[in-house]
Amino acid sequence: MSSVNQSITRVIGLISGTSVDGIDAALVEIIGTDFDLKIELVARATYPYPAQLRERILAVCAGDAISMAELAQIDDAIALAFAQAAQDIQIGQQPATLIGSHGQTVYHRPPHPSLGYSLQLGRGALIAHQTGITTISNFRVADIAVGGHGAPLVPRVDAFLLSHPQAGRCIQNIGGIGNVAYIPPRHGEWLSKIRGWDTGPGNSLLDLAVEHLSAGAKTYDQDGKWAASGTPCLNLVAQWLNQDYFHLPPPKSTGRELFGVSYLQQCLQDAEPHQLSPADFLATLTELTAASIAHSYRLFLPEMPQQVLLCGGGSRNLYLKQRLQFLLSSIPVLTTDEAGLNADFKEAIAFAVLAYWRQMNLPGNLPAATGAFEEIPLGEVHPAYQAT
């Protein structure tokens, strides 16, 4: 498809992932459509949630019962935080004309046996009202309405930004939950051969474990140093890999509903007979993340990739990256930085692109990744409020 619009559009992409560690904001310049898509990252930053808001979000994600009034308050608070992030990222820059906001996922139910359900807080209408910028949000519902999981949503973006003419690539995001996009070499019917799914836990269990083991003094294991000082219990990892989700064929999706506080408590209980030190336990959970990724590639890919490109917060966990490289043997494990796309902000960039495509009425999903019946534009459009 040739470009029908060669003017530059400035778009802000916003997302807070399942780790709930803050709002990633990316200001990008976009040109082209899909096959000739080009982007330039102009500015990026992560804006932490206020501590009290983060605690409330995590409580909701963990299943705490709240009133509708409290839900509305949290929805508003998240939207205002996202709006502030959009305003801050533009300081000293030419303004954006479009915002793509993923919002904050607080609940996700895969589509079995009925339609799926996914709830992202941080309503787009309020962001548009606060910023004066047209905002596209609620990206998952359109895919879910046509039978999809509403996840993962980034494989189509990955396809047009990170495909290679000769090499098959796995683009592996490691946020709170891990997800993969398998991109075959870019020739022939390559687009129809793309696959994607949620691989399982990413940082979610690790962060919960660090907070538990440090009695709240730490919220994450920087660079994986604590885990690297321990020794993984491989028998325990093998036991955990028997969990049904890891053997469920794609398309599939998951979240904190499965890999959350209750799952961590079960892991702690399973570990008791092995008398693991805190470092050993963290090393074992890290091994589960790495092993679940490698395991899913071997079970579900049509062929192993020539490269793995990591992105998301877990791409900075050096011990996790080292363990994944060991498990994948000779397949190079790199980051998307090495392919020219910022690894820390790739997901925020992706939602900027999805908003751009929505404005052009182009599809944003890939049915082979989400399980939807058809390709469809994603996102609800909230025009900027114009005072009279």
> Which of the four pLDDT bands, split at 50, 70 and 90, describes residue 6?
confident
Any idea what the Cα angle at residue 98 is, between residues 97 and 104, rounded to 5°?
A: 145
Which range has the worst mean pLDDT, 5-14, 129-138, 234-243? 5-14
Q: What is the pLDDT of residues 168-220, one digit of tens each?
A: 999 999 999 999 999 999 999 899 899 999 999 999 899 999 999 999 999 89
The dihedral over CA atoms of 265, 268, 273, 274, expressed in degrees to the nearest 10, equals: 160
Residues paired with residue 105 on neighbouring β-strands, in sequence order: 120
Residue 206's φ and ψ, nearest 5 degrees, are -60, -45
The residue assigned the tokens 């000293």 is 92
Give the number of C-alpha atoms closer than 13 A to the C-alpha of residue 155, restricted to the C-beta side: 30
| pLDDT over 70 percentage in the chain | 98
9-150+345-382 matches 155-339 in fold: yes
Q: What is the pLDDT of residues 276-317, one digit of tens each?
A: 999 999 999 999 999 999 999 999 999 999 999 999 999 999
Average pLDDT score over the chain: 95
Question: Sheet containing 195-201: which strands, arranged edge to edge?
Answer: 195-201, 177-183, 169-174, 307-311, 333-335
Q: What is the mean pLDDT of residues 250-261?
A: 93
| 3 state DSSP class of 154 | coil
The answer on pLDDT for 3 being more than 60 is no
The residue assigned the tokens 């870019």 is 186
| pLDDT over 90 percentage in the chain | 91
Give the domain ranges of the chain: 9-150+345-382, 155-339
Given this model, what pLDDT does residue 136 score? 98
> Which of the four pLDDT bands, split at 50, 70 and 90, describes residue 221?
very high
In whole angstroms, what is the distance from residue 151 CA to residue 61 CA?
17
Given this model, what pLDDT does residue 1 score? 36
Given this model, what pLDDT does residue 346 score? 97
What is the fold, at CATH topology level, of the domain defined by 9-150+345-382?
A: Nucleotidyltransferase; domain 5 (3.30.420)
Q: What's the token pair of residue 216? A: 């709240």
**Integer CA distances (angstroms), 206 to 104, 145, 289, 364, in order:** 20, 33, 9, 31
Give the CATH H-level superfamily of domain 155-339: ATPase, nucleotide binding domain (3.30.420.40)
Q: What is the pLDDT of residues 39-72, one digit of tens each?
A: 999 999 999 999 999 999 999 998 899 999 999 9
**Integer CA distances (angstroms), 27 to 11, 94, 121, 158, in order:** 6, 10, 21, 18
H helices of the chain, where? 51-61, 68-89, 124-131, 140-145, 155-162, 204-213, 225-228, 234-240, 261-271, 278-300, 318-327, 346-359, 367-370
Given this model, what pLDDT does residue 79 score? 98
Given this model, what pLDDT does residue 388 score? 45
Residue 177's φ and ψ, nearest 5 degrees, are -115, 145
In whole angstroms, what is the distance from residue 198 CA to residue 118 CA?
15
The answer on pLDDT for 271 being more than 60 is yes
Counting every residue written for the chain, the total comes to 388
Q: What is the mean pLDDT of residues 329-339?
A: 97
Claim: this prediction has a pTM higher than 0.85: yes
Given this model, what pLDDT does residue 113 score? 81
